[in-house]
Amino acid sequence: MPHMILLIEDNQTDIELTRRAFIKGNIDSELVVKEDGQEALNYLFGAESSTSAAVSVLPDLILLDLKMPKISGLEVLRHIRQNARTRRIPVVVLTSSVEESDLAAAYNLCANSYIRKPVDFKEFVDAVKALCHYWLELNEPSPL
């Protein structure tokens, strides 16, 4: 069964680049995309005021952008880490932010990794391929 990766990203160009990187890098995983923090939280936890229920199968890995509308990536990370059901899912912050305060905040909220998006497409493919290889193949996941 292929792994499932949740990409939380609001930039359409970056979403398409990530999809292309998965194809180019031969990454055999299902990529689920949520385009803002609220949509991601609704997906993971369900929404009290809507008909959506929490997803039954959690992702094996979350790729999280920081700068998003509605709810920021850092706030999404806070919710993920505060919930017993999701706190052990590896979260890789994949961002273009060069702010040291974002780096510190992400690690303070227990991000597993922080990667600045390479501008060059080949470097981006290599980065996505390496992080998927590590988190989905080499890393021994935490037992539930």
Six token digits for residue 4: 């499932």
Digitized pLDDT (tens) for each residue of the chain, 144 residues in all: 689 999 999 999 999 999 999 999 889 899 999 999 999 999 999 865 455 566 678 999 999 999 998 899 999 999 999 999 899 999 999 998 889 999 999 999 999 999 999 889 899 999 999 999 999 999 988 876
Residue 86 lies in a domain: yes
Q: Let me know: does 53 contact 65? Beta carbons within 8 Å.
A: no
Residue 118 lies in a domain: yes
Domain span at residue 21 reads 3-138
Residue 90 lies in a domain: yes
CA atoms of 110 and 43, how far apart (whole Å) = 21
Task: Domain count for the chain, please give it.
Answer: 1
Residue 101 lies in a domain: yes
Residue 93 lies in a domain: yes
Residue 12 lies in a domain: yes
CA atoms of 39 and 124, how far apart (whole Å) = 25
Residue 144 lies in a domain: no
Residue 96 DSSP code: -
Residue 89 lies in a domain: yes
Residue 59 belongs to domain with CATH number: 3.40.50.2300
